[in-house]
């Protein structure tokens, strides 16, 4: 059986192309919402909860996975590390789908600033006087709060009960929350910047598919800084694809051999 760890929008495309020749697929997502988005696709079974290393090992053995595609989000580093280790131990063919970056297209723009960690981010933000749009998601809330910034921060997050409850528990004002599912386009990014008179935006290097290009373009055209949290480097030592079509063709060739 083919195993898929999905955490990006491309998951639907990967499943759609795989369904052209197989339904013998085990899918794992980190959330019930992620699983809901895949309800119209074909697979043998689906897991909708985060898996730690031991649970991942158990699932891979239980489902007799022979090939695992790790298409988790570029920032879900722990998931990828666990998947690589599990595949090494169980002699499973590990394949990584890595969403391409688009930040290098703006390498000559002085207002596009890459930062390695939250300590460096705090230093960079010391010179920002005004509102900051945080589009890095809800999972980084504690790291952002720990910076002790005096700026007003507007958080753009998924409109789920779980996420909004977490913000309520941390006493984040409703006026400082934009709850909607991304990615959003250039015009709406510009509208958010103007509406809140933002002086900077925090974002991840989530590639064009994740809306990064539109965010950076909007920042530059509105004359504000784009602070990009860099991806953590992982040496996969396995086959890596940056194109969904090429990935699926490789999987098809592997299944045909077997």
Which tokens in the block code for residue 174?
């409703």
Rounded distance, CA 97 to CA 69, Å? 7
pLDDT for 254 equals 84
> What's the pLDDT band for 232 if we cut at 50, 70, 90?
confident
> 244-257 and 10-18 are packed helices; what angle lies between their axes, rounded to 10 degrees?
30
> What's the pLDDT band for 236 if we cut at 50, 70, 90?
confident
63 or 30, greater pLDDT: 63
Do 71 and 6 meet the contact criterion of CB atoms below 8 Å apart? yes
Rounded distance, CA 48 to CA 31, Å? 5
213 or 75, greater pLDDT: 213
pLDDT for 9 equals 82
Most confident of 41-45, 121-125, 191-195: 191-195
> What's the pLDDT band for 64 if we cut at 50, 70, 90?
very high
Q: Looking at the domain 2-100+233-257, which fold is it?
A: Rossmann fold (3.40.50)
pLDDT of 257 higher than 80: no
2-100+233-257 matches 103-229 in fold: yes
103-229 CATH choice from 3.40.1550.10, 1.10.1060.10, 3.40.50.620, 3.20.20.80: 3.40.50.620
Per DSSP, the residues of 141-159 read HHHHHHT---S-EEEEE--
pLDDT of 228 higher than 70: yes
pLDDT tens, position by position, 18-37: 999 999 999 999 888 888 88
pLDDT for 217 equals 98
What's the mean pLDDT in 150-170?
A: 94
Q: What ranges do the domains of the chain cover? A: 2-100+233-257, 103-229
pLDDT tens, position by position, 95-154: 999 999 999 999 999 999 999 999 999 999 988 999 999 999 898 899 999 999 999 999
pLDDT for 258 equals 59
């Amino acid at each position: 059986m083919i195993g898929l760890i999905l955490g990006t929008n491309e998951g639907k495309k990967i499943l759609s192309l795989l369904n052209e020749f197989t339904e013998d697929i085990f899918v794992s997502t980190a959330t019930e919402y992620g699983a809901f988005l895949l309800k119209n696709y074909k697979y043998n079974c689906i897991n909708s909860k985060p898996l730690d290393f031991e649970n991942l090992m158990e699932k891979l053995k239980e489902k007799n996975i022979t090939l695992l595609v790790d298409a988790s989000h570029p920032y879900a580093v722990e998931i990828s590390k666990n998947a690589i280790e599990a595949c090494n131990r169980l002699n499973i063919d590990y394949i990584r789908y890595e969403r391409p970056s688009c930040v290098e297209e703006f390498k000559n723009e002085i207002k596009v600033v890459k930062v390695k960690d939250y300590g460096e981010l705090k230093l960079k933000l010391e010179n920002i006087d005004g509102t900051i749009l945080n589009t890095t998601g809800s999972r980084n809330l504690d790291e952002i709060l720990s910076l002790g910034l005096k700026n007003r921060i507007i958080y753009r997050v998924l409109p789920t009960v779980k996420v909004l409850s977490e913000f309520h528990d941390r006493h984040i004002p409703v006026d400082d929350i934009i709850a909607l599912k991304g990615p959003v386009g250039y015009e709406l990014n510009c509208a958010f910047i103007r509406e809140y008179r933002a002086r900077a935006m925090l974002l991840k290097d989530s590639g064009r598919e994740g809306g990064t290009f539109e965010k950076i373009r909007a920042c530059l055209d509105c004359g504000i800084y784009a602070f990009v949290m860099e991806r953590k480097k992982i040496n996969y030592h396995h086959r890596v694809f940056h194109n969904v079509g090429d990935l699926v063709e490789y999987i098809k060739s592997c299944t045909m051999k077997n």
